[in-house]
Chain A
């Protein structure tokens, strides 16, 4: 299946992916209205220092620890995409404690949110990748069994 992959040597550290993610999942039509002067809660985040930067989002693991560990049974795999049922989440952060990639962070309300590859919103393909100016994240098929 297609996943988001990182080319860290291309990353500019511009954080555009974070904004595009927050906008894509805001359900709003106007980016300025959705994000301006607001603290954003994107499902992708840029890590790094002054030399290296890279964007981290859910790996959609083939054997996802978050799914096995969620105390509410709120995370599941749908056609390879690791999805969350936010109505079931109680914000315990067990999934944050187990995700080896540090890919999860709660949203504003404390309920967990995660990258679902923009399958659940209007974009249909990851908005972070579409908006990346330097191909530092790509959305493609790489070798795997599934």
Chain B
């Protein structure tokens, strides 16, 4: 009987389990889970603080998931060393597991720059895991002054999650705008002012130079007094297991479109990988949940001897703050056209006769139609994109195409 080992127990691992079972129903699957929890929806940790979900509803899969899929899960233990020639992996508890195929679904961890005086701060938190959030929650008081370092998705989601449970929130970032990895200056300004209207204070192009107890001395010379510090500067892919075993890595574990690493019988999926961004035509870490699932599923099918390819990954984010929804997909590369009206901005980026990316703020109905144009590389001369810029519609497609989409099994 084949033996498969999955290191990590997040979304990529779930995709991998479901992918393996698509092909092989009786192989042995062992999951090594550093976190002492069954799989939960990581992006929901901010919604938990907001009271929009709870620990029960945060479960990404039902309680019978592992049992139903015949998985053994080893909780609270890290995998420490991989030996690709012996096809074994060693765990920190001394146990050694042999495998026929292994998947690194190890995700990422918070990156903490070496701030001077950080050790003098009493209440410092990251915002990545369920344990982080439970710890942060126990520190929240309705008068607490919170300083969040990092105005990316994680820092801002944290701000939204705790807004009604603390006294004040200041977010600083070295970048000149919020969500700098996905939004351009104009779009970021809109989102920022909406966040400001909702009580979040920003210090952009500025960050802490050093800390002393409850005081942050900023690069600009200003000081910020705080009670709680949240570090959301960035993340680093957990590549070490594969790297130390001689596998090729960059900012993530390098994989091909079958999710194979450079090591035989070793696959990788999710936030720990550097895959291929089909919209930008380059390698990139795509740290988003849909990508983790799809990569995991592809890896699983291939581990079990199937033949799956995932070659249309693109960055895509749908994120809302205090009721304002923003969606982005693909790359901001190429010629830009814009539709603007009160509270709404839609920007489209086209190049070489293809839609390459978009940013939508305030009006996001049926945006998946746009996303499909990017992912499926639909030539723009076969559709009527102009028609759809104000409101996404299937009217852009030819009648024949619509017949396939709505008159057949898809």
Contacts and interface: CB of A to CB of B under 8 A. Distances in A.
A121 interface: no
Interface string A25-66: 000000000000000000000011100101010010110010
B216 to A, nearest CB: 31
A7 B407 CA distance: 7
B320 A5 contact: no
Interface stretch (A14-22, A101-109, A122-130): A101-109
Nearest to B15: A68
Contacts of A52: 395, 399
B406 A47 contact: no
Contacts of B72: none
Most central of A49, A52, A54 by chain B CB within 10 Å: A54
Contact of B371 (A8, A87, A100): A100
A101 B43 contact: no
B26 to A, nearest CB: 22
Nearest to A104: B368
Interface in B47-76: 47, 52-53, 57-61
A144 to B, nearest CB: 4
Contacts of B15: 68
A74 to B, nearest CB: 9
A54 B394 contact: yes
B25 interface: no
Interface residues of B, number: 49
A142 B408 contact: yes
Contact of A48 (B61, B297, B327, B395): B395
Given A6-B407, A97-B316, A102 B392 contact: yes
Nearest to A146: B409
Interface of A: 3, 5-8, 47-49, 52, 54, 56, 59, 61-62, 65, 68-69, 71-73, 87-88, 90-102, 104-105, 142-144
- The 7 lowest CB-CB distance pairs between A and B, nearest first, are A102-B366, A100-B372, A69-B290, A144-B409, A73-B60, A6-B406, A99-B368
Interface of B: 14-15, 41, 43-44, 47, 52-53, 57-61, 289-290, 293-294, 297, 316-320, 325, 327, 329, 364-369, 371-372, 375-376, 392-395, 399, 402-403, 405-410
Given A6-B406, A72-B43, A102-B392, 19 more contacts: A3-B409, A5-B408, A7-B407, A48-B393, A52-B395, A59-B410, A61-B410, A71-B43, A71-B289, A72-B41, A72-B57, A73-B14, A92-B318, A95-B368, A99-B366, A100-B368, A100-B371, A100-B376, A105-B366
18 contacts: A6-B407, A8-B403, A47-B394, A48-B393, A52-B395, A54-B402, A56-B394, A68-B294, A72-B44, A73-B41, A88-B57, A92-B318, A94-B290, A97-B327, A98-B368, A100-B372, A100-B376, A142-B408
